[in-house]
Structure 1
Amino acid sequence: MNEDSLDPDVVERLLGLPPGLPAWQAADAASRARILATWLSSATLRGIAIGAGARSYLDRVRRRVAELHGLGDRLATAYGLRVLKGARIAAYMPPGLLRQSGDCDLVAPDEDALWNAALDLRERLGAVPRCVSVLRSGGETHVAVFLKWPAEEPFLDKPMGVDITTYAFGGDLKRVPLRVRAPGPDDLAGLFAVAEERFQHKFRAKDRLDLLVLARALESRLGDRLADVVCGHAAELALAPELCRLVASTDERVPLSAAWGHTLARLRPLAREETARRRTGRPGIYATRFGLPLDAARGEGPRLVVHRRSGLDLATTPMGTCLLLERPEVTDEDLTRAVEHARVLSTASGGREVDRCGTLSTHSSG
């Protein structure tokens, strides 16, 4: 990698902007690419004057990121969770260059730790579950809970969020096996967590910036072992196609080092092999159901329990009752029946009166 690859203008290079573009046009491009605060931080590092409104926005995003980093560290210490990205990648950023964070990704060692951390967030911040996912294969079950609460500017900024899972990487849920553990070192775990983002969206400037800082850290730490270590983990984690695409697309915008060029060449055949394995019925695939929150009534036990009622599956959890769905959509009729069954379950378990969650309307369909 070129030594100047992480100069403050790297954000504009990752956006594919021509040199000398007026700052307001660069800001517009950064905003459309969802990386405006990062660009603003790079602008201040280059001595570009920004107005009071932009400065206020940048300061607010910095506070948001700091809060998420602090939450991740606190929950990791209290409940044995692991932070996959967030502060762990931000630690490799050049001083002053902000890495934006939409939420905090945490991996719990077991379901008890997951619910304890989730309840902590509800009690301290009023966090509510947006969705609860249940993944099963044979006799093994994994759980994911996605929590939200208002941002500092609740009518302007997306809600704060924490995603807690009992597995590291979920893939596409159909053709890529569940991978429970991430690599031990933070730089490697971050690298593959960024590659995993491809299952959620096309790679963005933010993902490529992450790759740049992690690539430099990994090359410094691993030296001549870079290709062996990265390719070995890529094959084991079934992420060679995604990592290959991430490295190649970043290299097109900001050239990487010869060592990473060699690593990319070795990743390509692994990516072809992994792509050929991605078919229905592949071993290691978990059946996934999405949990639509119905109430905030705490279940009887410390873990998720599934109840079959009139053809519907409801899960009671320490944070409330959910309707389990194979797809994240539900008819009004099933939703009405599910709410009534949830009320009965709550009454039977001695739970408090059921309150319908405000997240229902975002999931229901006629």
Structure 2
Amino acid sequence: MDLATLYEALGVPEEAGPAELLFAARRQHYTLPYLVLSAVARHGVEMSDAARAELDRARRRARRYESVLAEVSAQVAVRPVKGPLLARYYPDGLLRPQGDLDLLVDNERDLWRVVRLLMEDEPLYLGVSMLGTPTRHLVVTMTWTPEDSLLDPEIRVEVATAALVGDYRGVPIRPALPDDALVANLLALGEERFQRPFHARDAIDVHVLGQAQPQPSTAQLVAAVEEYRLAPEVRELLAFTAERLSPGALTALGEALQAPAARELSRRTAHPVSVGPTRQVPAALADGSPVYGMPLRRVAGRSGWEGVRTHLFGDDALLLTPVGDYLLVTDEVVGQERYDAALRELESDRIAEETP
């Protein structure tokens, strides 16, 4: 992959030059400029001090994520999702665009071990989401100020007990990913379609995966995509890529997924995900969609906690965790009266400090 590939992926004529390519990258995704700047530097194009400074910050950002992964992996069994795994397929010198670091753990105990390790670096934000019915899964989001808070996106790490969360309707949560890194990356890229439309970074990632060796057979890929209920999304991803770049060895997969994609869409209509109240959460807060924790306070000293508790009061619920307490909500806006009631409940004698 070189500059010509990026011109093609971003729909910019080569004669327009690297400045227009960088402008197009900024329009399409906030991390794409990292890749373009690294490709420009690798190609020997003259760069301004400002451009080099941006690239240097991006490289330090990537090294910070690598350092976090190495530190956490040394103490807890974690698996990165996408970012660092995809970066390994990129040619030397090219900086794979990475907005955050996604870490997968096997259970809640390990999740809180990771969170406690990361809290030593004093995150600005610490959020918790609860997913799934009837089996509970948790996602913890932590953010830090970037090197340049005016120009760069926040540093963000997400730790989860589920790899792929589905669409909360017809595609269930799938907690684990396949061992094969290429297959796992392809599935994770397809899963993104449940959150947003595909964009140029996805096409570039697929292009890079399509050039990798060795490649699983088409039959193996089809089996994995079907097992993970992602045939429509992966087929759409491959078609999206083919409009911009060659999917390489993955080209045959798109055609092979035509019938599986039709079967999967039919299955989703006939067999939607069974939903109901998440364990210990009022039905009003659990219709199969995520339940978010609105931060009320951080807590230190719950060293014996390895899980969470939910505390019901009225029509609401508090989520008590090893590192903080939250009001469980489904809406983006919470009224002052409801927030104040949650704080009063949190301070009441009804909240017992017990290990879950």
2:14 aligns to what SS in structure 1?
coil
Corresponding position of 2:272: 282
1:295 aligns to what SS in structure 2?
strand
Q: Percent of aligned positions with the same letter in both sequences?
A: 30
The change in CA–CA distance for 1:106 and 1:91 in structure 2 (over 3 A counts) is same
The AA in structure 1 aligned to 2:250 is W
1:131 aligns to what SS in structure 2?
strand
Residues 108-154 of structure 1: CA distance to partner in whole angstroms, max 9, x if unpaired? 1100100110111111x11255431112423x321111111111122
Written as runs of structure 1 = structure 2, the 5 A alignment for 1:151-190 is 151-190=146-185
In 2, Cα distance between equivalents of 1:29 and 1:173: 34
The change in CA–CA distance for 1:11 and 1:227 in structure 2 (over 3 A counts) is same
2:316 matches 1:316: no
Written as runs of structure 1 = structure 2, the 5 A alignment for 1:1-366 is 6-34=1-29, 35-123=32-120, 125-138=121-134, 140-217=135-212, 220-222=213-215, 226-257=217-248, 259-279=249-269, 282-283=272-273, 287=288, 288-298=290-300, 301-344=305-348, 348-349=352-353
Contact 2:309 2:319 in 1 (8 A): yes
Contact 1:84 1:186 in 2 (8 A): no
Residues 201-226 of structure 1: CA distance to partner in whole angstroms, max 9, x if unpaired? 21121111111111222xx323xx52
Q: CA deviation at 1:316?
A: 0.3
Residues 147-192 of structure 1: CA distance to partner in whole angstroms, max 9, x if unpaired? 1111112233221111111111002223211001101021211111
1:9 aligns to what SS in structure 2?
helix
The change in CA–CA distance for 1:180 and 1:348 in structure 2 (over 3 A counts) is closer
Residues 328-349 of structure 1: CA distance to partner in whole angstroms, max 9, x if unpaired? 4322221121122223379753
Residues 42-89 of structure 1: CA distance to partner in whole angstroms, max 9, x if unpaired? 111222111000100110011001111221232233110111112211
Task: Name stretches of at least 5 consecutive residues in structure 1 with no aligned partner.
Answer: 1-5, 351-366
In 2, Cα distance between equivalents of 1:272 and 1:66: 42
Alignment length (residue pairs) = 339
In 2, Cα distance between equivalents of 1:40 and 1:230: 33
Contact 1:192 1:243 in 2 (8 A): yes
The change in CA–CA distance for 1:315 and 1:175 in structure 2 (over 3 A counts) is same
Task: Name stretches of at least 5 consecutive residues in structure 2 with no aligned partner.
Answer: 279-287
Contact 1:174 1:280 in 2 (8 A): no
The AA in structure 2 aligned to 1:156 is L
1:148 aligns to what SS in structure 2?
strand
CA RMSD of aligned residues (A): 2.2
1:133 aligns to what SS in structure 2?
strand
1:162 aligns to what SS in structure 2?
strand
In 2, Cα distance between equivalents of 1:47 and 1:31: 21
Contact 1:11 1:205 in 2 (8 A): no
Corresponding position of 1:364: none
Per the normalisation by structure 1, the TM-score is 0.86
Corresponding position of 1:354: none
Per the normalisation by structure 2, the TM-score is 0.89
Q: CA deviation at 1:241?
A: 1.3
Q: Greater CA deviation, 270-279 or 156-165?
A: 270-279
Contact 2:207 2:246 in 1 (8 A): no
